[in-house]
Chains A and B, each alone.
Chain A
Amino acid sequence: MIEFRNVTKRFPDGTVAVDAFDLVIPSRKTTVFVGSSGCGKTTLLRMINRMVEPTGGTVAIDGEDVASKQAVALRRSIGYVMQNSGLMPHFTVAENIATVPRLTGRTRRAARARALELMDVVGLDTAMADRYPSQLSGGQQQRVGVARGLASDPNILLMDEPFGAVDPIVRAELQRELIRLQRDLDKTVVFVTHDVDEAFLLGDQVAILAKGARRLQFGSPSEITEQPADDFVAAFIGAERGKRALRVKQTPHGPVLVDAEGRTQGVLVEGGA
């Protein structure tokens, strides 16, 4: 469980990136922060592993204030995956994945074995183990980033727009893989994105944020879709238009659901599960 209690971050230049933010993030679920660029998502995420120190309030993991923990050890215990992979360009794929096990004192051999195992987990051919990140595609680099985040088997995985820079087809594939992974691994995932579709696809819980990390709504995708907190949220999630605004159309074979563009999205099944 990760708890934000009245957390504020004012940067030295006066920018208030996060203003009195409160949230309890449940364990073993995927929680997504979604909001437009600059609303404070990355700042929130970085306060969890002390890359950014709050100027007010506390962030606690399982009831313990992170400020009381040693920053370096804390970061090693939390997986972190970022946009543009953040891989070390001078480490091979295996060395990148093995980074945290090496930092925590595992032998080179043990760390490499772990890296190869994780390459399998994230769907990377182990033949790529000795390549450098620059020799991989964007999607492969992100997989390496995910593998590195998982290497020390952390309870918490922080993901900051990890699929933001890859093309839509690869992104869809990576999203599916993350869902599969999460089913097996059962981590506490905190995922940041500016893409509502991605948020609703991946999140058990979604926090919709506005500037200053102001919380507009927090709930499951179904709750938010069924009952948007206000017009802004409704517009933001596209409830009035696009593919979440469905209407019933009668056909000779029964009712179907059609989106705002007139595309049939599915069949209406009465009394279904």
Chain B
Amino acid sequence: MEWVTGNLDLIGSLTLDHLRQSVIAIAAGFALSLPLGWVAWRYRLLRGWVITVTGLLYTIPSLALLMILPVVAGYPATSETNLVIALTIYAVAIMVRAVTDGLDAVDPAVRRSATAVGYGDARRFWAVDLPLAGPVILAGLRVTAVSTISLATVGILVGVTNLGYLFTNGLQRRIIPEVLAGIVAVALVALLIDLLLMLAGRALMPWARAEAPRRSSTAAEAAA
């Protein structure tokens, strides 16, 4: 505890670094996954490929990715860009699947109905398909966010500073409170982002909650 109170400035600035790196990667991963997920959903033939390839990305060990990417792309391994790009790749690996599943979950009858009353294809995507895929996409985004924030700590192993620094430094200098502070700080950042995403979901998709009670009651009826 003493170590923590004496190093609040350090923890604070590391937290900000951590947040910046994670949030950029989450946002970029989300933005890239929308078109990729849509393509996979829209074009049946590409679907298997997109899902498999993006899924395989997730199996690349993070440390290996952090060391290979700089060689391939030609930026220093220690740069923040290196970590952010690696995290973005993992985010895409999870999110593409979520976007595809979300679009799949939209009731085809609602989609047809939207077309029947006069939505053009593009407008229908933004006004109908995407919002209705929202709950599934949000669930994927929340998993992505938490996993990205936790995964970001690996950056310290190639020299990108963030909350991971508290782990390596604490272990080297055998300051257990420092390691614990790192764990708690990462967990708090993850919880905070998760909470914000949940609240954003409620604000943007008020209908999803209005719908929930009926769904559970029909599920109960079906089970009975």
Q: Is B117 a contact of A89 with CB atoms below 8 Å?
A: no
Interface members, chain A 81-118 (any B CB < 8 Å):
82, 84, 86-92, 99-100, 103-104
On whether the beta carbons of A86 and B118 are closer than 8 Å, the reply is: no
Binds B, one of A72-80, A205-213, A246-254, A261-269: A72-80
In the complex, which residues of chain B have a beta carbon less than 8 angstroms from the beta carbon of A89? Answer: 107, 110, 132, 207, 211
In the bound complex, how far is the Cα of B134 from the Cα of A131, in angstroms? 19
Say yes or no for B119: interface residue by CB 8 A criterion: yes
What bracket does the count of chain A residues touching chain B fall in?
20 to 34
Check if A222 is an interface residue, CB within 8 A of chain B: no
Residues facing B in A194-240 (CB within 8 A) are: none
Q: Are B210 and A135 in contact (CB-based, < 8 A)? A: yes
Residues of B within 8 A of A193 (CB): none
The answer, yes or no, to whether B131 is at the interface (CB within 8 Å) is: yes
Q: Is the CB of B116 within 8 A of A86?
A: yes
| Known contacts A89-B207, A132-B211: A75-B117 contact under CB 8 Å | yes
A99–B127 CA distance with the chains assembled, in angstroms: 11
Task: Determine whether the beta carbon of A51 is less than 8 Å from that of B115.
Answer: yes
| Residues B113 and A103 in contact, CB atoms below 8 Å apart | no
A188 at interface by CB-CB < 8 Å: no
In B105-164, which residues have CB < 8 Å from any A CB? 107, 109-110, 112-120, 123, 128, 131-132, 134
New A-B contacts (14) at CB < 8 Å, excluding given A49-B116, A72-B118, A84-B109? A72-B119, A75-B117, A80-B113, A80-B116, A86-B116, A88-B113, A89-B132, A89-B207, A90-B128, A90-B134, A103-B118, A134-B210, A135-B214, A148-B117
Chain A interface (Cβ < 8 Å from any Cβ of B)? 46, 49, 51, 72-73, 75-76, 80, 82, 84, 86-92, 99-100, 103-104, 131-132, 134-135, 148
Give 13 pairs: A residue, B residue, CB < 8 Å, sorted on A.
A72-B119, A76-B117, A80-B116, A82-B113, A86-B110, A88-B110, A90-B132, A100-B118, A103-B118, A104-B118, A134-B207, A134-B214, A135-B210
